[in-house]
A and B are shown apart, each in its own frame.
Chain A
Amino acid sequence: MSGFQFLQLSATIALGLLIFAFVLIIIRIVRGPSLPDRVLALEMLVSTGIAYIAVIAIKTSFFLYLDVAISLGLVGFLATVAFARYVLQRGSQRQEQKNSRQISPGKELEQ
């Protein structure tokens, strides 16, 4: 087997493994008990997407896909930062509501 054939074969296997990883992460996004779990799984989904695009860049030897992967990483990082701010704000609002009413509204709903 020549080097190029080995590269093509391993790229195909890597694509299959990455699709398996996509499925597992999507199960976590659907099941995820709380909001930060889902945010974390989305971040991981972006990371898996970057790996997928990189493998496709190698498989087609069209290296312009690399720029797409880098921009996707940038967008994913900014989305994580924004979601972290949102989780923080939402949590502190919820605590203020709890303190002012002295009851815990919808405790089974929030988790």
Chain B
Amino acid sequence: MIEEIAFYIGGILLLIGALFTVIAAIGILRFPDLYTRMHAASKTGTMGAGLSFVAIAVVAFDGPVILRALVGFIFLILTAPVGAHLLARAACLAGYKPSELTEINEYEKTLK
């Protein structure tokens, strides 16, 4: 009984994770410049992969597997913002301009 419920929850988590990933890919394709694309990639994309890990943790009835899945989830959540921030800072310092639609750019004052 409890296994059946876990399988249903795991399937729903898998579907939600895949939908998150597709939304992130659409965002990467459609947004106008690097700094807005980074929102789609680093938040939605991480959530997509992370929910797949959570689905493994729900479906597998095995202690070490659950632990590894949760550790992988935490690792993804910790590293994605760091990587995105590093790339955004490097691009900004290297002189890649945001798109014309950007109204507030406070980092520009720090650069001059």
Binding site for B on A (CB under 8 A): 2-4, 6-7, 9-11, 13-15, 17-18, 20-22, 24-25, 27-28, 34, 36-37, 39-41, 43-44, 47-48, 50-51, 54-55, 57-58, 63, 66-67, 69-70, 73-74, 77, 80-81, 83-85, 87-88, 90-92, 94-95
B37's partner among A14, A37, A77 (CB-CB below 8 A) is A37
- Contact A81:B83 (CB < 8 A) given known A17-B21, A40-B38, A51-B21: yes
CB proximity to A under 8 Å, residues B44-68: 45-46, 48-49, 52-53, 55-56, 59-60, 62, 65, 68
Is the Cβ of A54 less than 8 Å from the Cβ of B56?
Answer: yes
Contact across chains for B18 and A14 when beta carbons are under 8 A apart: yes
